[in-house]
Chain A
Amino acid sequence: MENVVVIGGGPAGLKAAAELRSLGLDVALVEKAGVLGGTPVQEKFALLAPELRPAEEVVGALVKAVQQDGVQVHLNSTVTAVAGQGKDFTLTVQNGKGEERLQAGAVIIATGYEHFDPSVKPEYGYGVFPDVITSAQLEGMLSDGKVVRPSNGQVPKKVAILQCIGSRDAQVERKYCCRVGCVVASKQAVELRQKYPDMQVYIFYMDIRTYGRGFEELYWKAQDDFGVRFIRGRGAEVRRRGDELLLKAEETLKARASETPFDMVVLTVGMGPSEGTKAMASLFGLPVAEDGFVEPADRMLAPVSTKAAGVFVAGTALGPKDIEDAALEGAAAALRAAAYLKGGK
């Protein structure tokens, strides 16, 4: 059967579905939410690093391709059971109205990630002090065109962005790097400074990791053109004094501990496997690695294949990455699935 079911309608799943259509295969796309686009749409991403293009424009194009290419889209739907194997899967899909069955010769899992919940680390006061927000919340504010302190509705004068919250941290059993936090923070700082030239923006970091093409340039730009202040040291603790927040950190380059007042603290939260990713890994019997993400058949040689024949995986279900890389993996998984159905492996 020349039919592929793609699970997850974010950048990886959208790209996979569109590419499968371009190869002439029938595609069903199953998405848990009521809209396509995945986390970038649900969390209202503003501009995308490093090109500072509106997320809407980029993700919108991916969505449009799927809608125009005759992909059969199932919104508000989750896969709850799978039967069969090889080239003959039957998936049970649950939606608001009931259950239906989808036949598939191959399956692509692109169920994505979930942001780290910083209330797990009470030292940052998230959920206690209203002006401590996550990078995802800031992104939503930037999209809405107004960045204000939740406590009083005023534009903050001095903002601290803290890197690596829920990443590179043995205390929460997340050793890995989120890979995008550094360029996202640089981008958010640029956006803040563009919009509010009087606002002081500080980024507290351990290492600035800007691996992608154009990422380092954006980091330089934040320093050169926008006067964003980078302080080397991990934000350690936030407390409140009156209506300001006090941030404890060591400026490690000066070997000096400091406690600095801010109006708003933004936590650059890491990525973990989403509930959907965990559920699909267990449903399809896929191994997950120590970091909780799906382990592909071979990280270097078969990065979008899995141990289960006919089951492929793409995007942040495989670990943190940016939209470009997620879409690339979606395309790669589409190619692998098509080759598999044509009798290859």
Chain B
Amino acid sequence: MAIDFGDLKVYERMTQDPRFEDAYQGCLSCGTCESLCPAGQFYDYNPREVVEATGRADEAELRNWLENKIWYCAQCCSCKFRCPRGNSAADLVMILRDIAVEKGWAKEALEKYTRILKTILTVGNQLSPDMIAPDFFPDWGPRVAEMSKHKKEWRAELGIPGLMPIDRSWAVPAHVIKELLDIWKLSGAMDRVEATNPFLVELAWDNIEEALEDEKQAAEASHT
């Protein structure tokens, strides 16, 4: 995807991020970050490049990263905790990702995460047991695969009310999700989601209205 950068000064914009000061100190070009980077093993990706491009305020290279490479990082932070200069390629990538999201350039990259985002916005947590299916994890082996078919029964057997469902990790009450949505709205997170996927935001508010209504009715029913 070709991005129209307009008059964006990527380096300048990065330096305005509060994380920048800790993320970049100068670089020894030692390669420790790249040696340990799991993304570097699979993609044409080298965290040292984004650090050095930052050090040179290399607009062309930083734009190049914004186009694509920032989405390869697994945010494992190996680079951050071993860098002898105390840099964090992980955080530089995160700053660039935020720029991409804010500008609406992240649509394509984040499309595959729509389901996760939707889950967070509607049920209040990200992973649900039914997402973790044997087809995705062939290394599980037959025994675990067989067990996982009966997640629902296993979890019910636990007898812990919040942990019964399998379409979410635990059941978050509607009024708590509403609070989360309000916090995300105030903090600007919802604007970011909107820039990437406006449909999701609409869906979240519709969903919470219904859920609150259900909650209210359920409460009334239990009182009468």
Shortest beta-carbon distance, A321 to chain B, in Å?
Answer: 22
Task: Decide yes or no whether B86 CB sits under 8 A from chain A.
Answer: yes
Task: Decide yes or no whether B126 CB sits under 8 A from chain A.
Answer: no
Residue of B nearest to A258 (CB): B35
Convert B24-42 into 0s and 1s, putting 1 for each residue whose CB lies closer than 8 angstroms to a CB of A.
Answer: 0100111110111100110
Partner of A170, one of B40, B46, B48, B86: B86
A236 contacts B35, C-beta separation under 8 Å: yes
A250 contacts B34, C-beta separation under 8 Å: yes
Most chain B CB within a 10 A radius of its CB, from A168, A237, A248, A250: A250
B32 contacts A234, C-beta separation under 8 Å: yes
Q: Which residues of B contact A252 (CB under 8 A)?
A: 29-31, 34, 48
B36 contacts A234, C-beta separation under 8 Å: no
Convert B176-202 into 0s and 1s, putting 1 for each residue whose CB lies closer than 8 angstroms to a CB of A.
Answer: 000000000000000000000000000
Interface size, chain B (Cβ < 8 Å) = 21
Asked, given contacts A169-B84, A234-B84, A248-B35, whether A257 binds B28 with beta carbons under 8 Å apart, the answer is no
Alpha-carbon distance between A34 and B25 when the two chains are bound, in angstroms: 46
Alpha-carbon distance between A13 and B46 when the two chains are bound, in angstroms: 49
Convert A222-262 into 0s and 1s, putting 1 for each residue whose CB lies closer than 8 angstroms to a CB of B.
Answer: 00000000000110110000000000111110010110000
Alpha-carbon distance between A237 and B34 when the two chains are bound, in angstroms: 12
Residue of B nearest to A172 (CB): B84
Q: Which residues of B contact A255 (CB under 8 A)?
A: 34, 46, 48-49
Partner of A234, one of B28, B40, B41, B86: B28
Asked, given contacts A250-B48, A252-B48, whether A237 binds B29 with beta carbons under 8 Å apart, the answer is no
Residue of A nearest to B84 (CB): A169
Shortest beta-carbon distance, B219 to chain A, in Å?
Answer: 54
- Please report B residues at the A interface, Cβ cutoff 8 Å: 25, 28-32, 34-37, 40-41, 46, 48-49, 81-86
Q: What are 7 A-B contacts with C-beta separation under 8 Å?
A: A169-B84, A170-B86, A234-B32, A250-B48, A252-B48, A257-B35, A257-B40
